[in-house]
């Protein structure tokens, strides 16, 4: 049976935009080409590849894992099931971080829990003069971050560390520390819904109340920050008040939260 692109586009089980994205992956053609050539017959091999991706998507697997990348800050980042998929709201964290070091020359920046490296690499690309370090407890995540840094031409350092464990309190000082740590509570029902079912639990939950890692970072970061340096954290939709209180209790000044496009506070931090 001969199957055309138009036949596949008529599928009502998936949104058309997702069909196009999967066809881009299978056919290695642009979206514009696919639309303009929808009467083309696809090969049996392409049909079987598309059918496999379609089934996996219908089973709930994230599009980013199926096509192998996610766009973030206008760059394409390699992702697989060993790393968290970058979210649009995390771009707010990058924007806030960049703004906080705009007056500094050659700032030293630490991204804790770097994952695929999207935050650290984005900052490096926007501030090539910065000395950017990305750390993660998971070696597979660091391998993905290394590939992304090479592909995008970002000169960052990558360290295998459980938060600050591998840093020297007497030597390692930073002008900015940022993190998008696991902040979902262990018993949160959202962990069993949507894309989260397929993402690494290590990158999603702290195995406790959602504030364990955030508290650890806030408590220890002062030891690794230069004078007037900033700490910025991404957090859950309902955690802003608690994070602000933690920062103030730890002696941070100018504690502020920033809202996402839905008007929800998602990034909070301050300086010492």
What are the pLDDT digits (tens) for 173-200?
999 999 999 999 999 999 999 999 999 9
Is 99 within any annotated ligand binding site? no
- The pLDDT value given to residue 50: 98
- The pLDDT value given to residue 194: 92
Span 21-42, average pLDDT: 97
Does residue 1 surpass a pLDDT of 80?
A: no
Considering the entire predicted model, what is its pTM?
0.95
- The pLDDT value given to residue 90: 97
**Contact assessment for residue 148 and residue 117, using Cβ atoms and an 8 Å cutoff:** yes
- The pLDDT value given to residue 212: 98
| Residue 11, Ramachandran bin (φ over 0: left; ψ between -120 and 50: alpha; else beta) | beta
- The pLDDT value given to residue 113: 98
Is 153 within any annotated ligand binding site? no
Is 263 within any annotated ligand binding site? no
Distance of CA 135 to the CA centre of its chain: 14
Is 128 within any annotated ligand binding site? no
Is 163 within any annotated ligand binding site? yes
Is 181 within any annotated ligand binding site? yes
Is 65 within any annotated ligand binding site? no
- The pLDDT value given to residue 119: 98
- The pLDDT value given to residue 30: 97
- The pLDDT value given to residue 132: 98
pLDDT band of 264, cuts 50, 70, 90: very high
Residue 115: helix, strand or coil by DSSP? coil
């Amino acid at each position: 049976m001969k199957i055309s692109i138009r036949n596949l586009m008529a599928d009502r089980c998936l949104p058309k935009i997702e069909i196009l994205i999967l066809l881009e992956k299978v056919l290695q053609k642009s979206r514009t080409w696919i639309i303009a050539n929808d009467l083309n017959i696809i090969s049996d091999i392409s049909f079987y590849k598309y059918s496999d991706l379609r089934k996996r998507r219908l089973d709930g697997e994230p599009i980013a894992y199926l096509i192998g990348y996610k766009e973030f800050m206008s760059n394409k980042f390699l992702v697989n099931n060993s790393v968290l998929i970058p979210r649009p709201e995390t771009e707010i964290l990058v924007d806030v971080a960049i703004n906080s070091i705009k007056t500094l020359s050659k700032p030293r920046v630490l991204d804790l829990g770097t994952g695929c490296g999207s935050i650290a690499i984005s900052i490096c690309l926007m501030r090539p003069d910065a000395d950017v370090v990305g750390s993660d407890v998971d070696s597979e995540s660091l391998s993905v971050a290394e590939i992304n840094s090479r592909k995008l031409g970002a000169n960052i350092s990558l360290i295998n560390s459980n938060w600050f464990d591998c840093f020297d309190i007497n030597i390692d000082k930073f002008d900015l520390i940022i993190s998008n740590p696991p902040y979902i509570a262990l018993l949160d029902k959202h962990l069993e819904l949507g894309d989260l079912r397929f993402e690494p639990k290590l990158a999603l939950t702290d195995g406790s109340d959602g504030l364990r890692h955030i508290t650890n970072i806030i408590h220890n970061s002062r030891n690794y920050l230069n004078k007037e340096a900033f700490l910025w954290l991404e957090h859950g939709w309902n955690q802003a008040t608690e994070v602000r209180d933690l920062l103030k209790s730890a002696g941070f000044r100018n504690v502020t939260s920033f809202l996402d496009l839905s008007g929800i506070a998602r990034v909070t931090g301050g300086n010492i």
